[in-house]
Amino acid sequence: MAEVNNPHDRLIRDLKPSEFKVIFQRSKLEKYEELTVTTAEKLISEGIQQGIEKGIEKEKLETASKMFTKGIDLKTILEITGLTEKILKDHKIL
Interatomic CA distance for residues 80 and 69, integer angstroms: 15
Contact in structure between 69 and 82 (CB atoms under 8 Å): no
Give residue 52's pLDDT: 95
pLDDT over 80 at 13, yes or no = no
Confidence of residue 16 (pLDDT cuts 50, 70, 90): confident
Give residue 40's pLDDT: 87
pLDDT over 90 at 24, yes or no = no
Interatomic CA distance for residues 56 and 36, integer angstroms: 30
Q: ∠54-64-75 over CA atoms, to 5°? A: 120
- pLDDT 10s digits, 31-65: 888 888 888 888 999 999 999 999 999 999 999 99
Interatomic CA distance for residues 46 and 53, integer angstroms: 10
